[in-house]
Amino acid sequence: MRKNWLLCILILGAVALLANARVPGPSFRFTSIDFPGAVLTQPQGINPGGEIVGLYKDTAGKQHGFLLSSGQFTSIDYPGAISTDARGIGPSGEIVGAFTNMPGGTPNIHGYLMSQGKFSEVQYPGHLGTIAQRIGPNGDIYGCNHDTDFMATMHGFRRTADGYTQLDVPASMNNGATPDGSLVAGLYTDMMTGLTHGYLVKNGNFEPFDVPGSNLTQAWDMNPAGDVVGNYRDTTGKSHGFLLKAGQFTSLDFPSAINTQARGINPGGEVVGWYIDSTGHTHGFLRSVGQ
């Protein structure tokens, strides 16, 4: 009887130890990204294979898009443009972004699609300007159209094989979506308060959200699992990246940075964006996931 009693105590003790055991979670590693010779580098998107696109400025101040694939950088310049960026990259390597062909602000910003090295313009019919932000695995493109500004005349859009559809919310921009388009993430500015918020569109229902305690929230991308990345500004004016996963917010800050912006996320949870260091220089980053 005494042996059975001692055995029960040992079993209960072992169960308690297992219950309190801490299972290691995933670890994260930040890596800086700098286009060779650039004075500024800002990654914007990453695909399932880890290919990264973004923008950089050369020593003359001209802006170019870039692709980082297998450790090699390639410049991207829309033909005849005075400024180009690259914002999203699909699983098969298709790239979308925006270019400016002449000075003059928002009317002269247009979207593009680059597929197999060939450019085609992405332009919402009936509007002056367009930005192509993301491209899905089925070729759907998300972004915004606008006319005279990035506020009241700007609306988020989706382009499918059937054409363009527009989000009926002023000052909005669609920035990421699940592959079937049933869930979309973006940002908008409330025209009454002047405050910028993130949003989700779930099967057509518009749902604004904010990082708790922030006075600005911008959602910039979404992966197939519905995880969202973006940036927010705290009450001291400092900007941080964020990850919204399963309803929980996590801040993303490059070590020792004075400003961090998260811009893209892929199915594996890798995040890209950019940060400003203590000297005021802007660098890109990759936050990779490991065990």
Per-residue pLDDT at 26:
60
Distance CA 167, CA 218 (A): 17
Domain spans of the chain? 31-290
DSSP letters along 3-51, please?
HHHHHHHHHHHHHHHHHHPPPP--EEEEEEE--TT-SEEEEEEE-TT--
Six token digits for residue 134 = 């993301």
Q: pLDDT tens string for the chain (291 positions)?
A: 444 444 443 333 433 333 343 334 467 899 999 999 999 999 999 999 999 999 999 999 999 999 999 999 999 999 999 999 999 999 999 999 999 988 776 678 999 999 999 999 999 999 999 999 999 999 999 999 999 888 999 999 999 999 999 999 999 999 999 999 999 999 999 999 999 999 999 988 999 999 999 999 999 999 999 999 999 999 999 999 999 999 999 999 999 999 999 999 999 999 999 999 999 999 999 999 875
Other CB atoms within 10 A of residue 79 CB: 9
* Residue 39, amino acid: V
Number of H helices, E strands in the chain: 1, 24
Which residue do the tokens 């998260």 mark? 262
pLDDT for 273: 98
* Predicted local confidence at residue 168, as pLDDT: 95
What tokens appear for 209 in the block?
A: 């959200």
pLDDT, residue 90, reads: 98
pLDDT for res 203: 85
**CATH domain 31-290 topology:** Neuraminidase (2.120.10)
Contact indicator for 127, 147 with CB cutoff of 8 Å: yes
Q: For the whole model, what pTM was predicted?
A: 0.90
Dist CA 259 CA 233 (whole Å): 9
- Give the burial class of 22: count Cβ atoms within 10 A of its Cβ; 0-12 exposed, 13-18 middle, 19 or more buried: exposed
If 0-12 CB within 10 Å is exposed, 13-18 middle and 19+ buried, where does residue 29 land? exposed
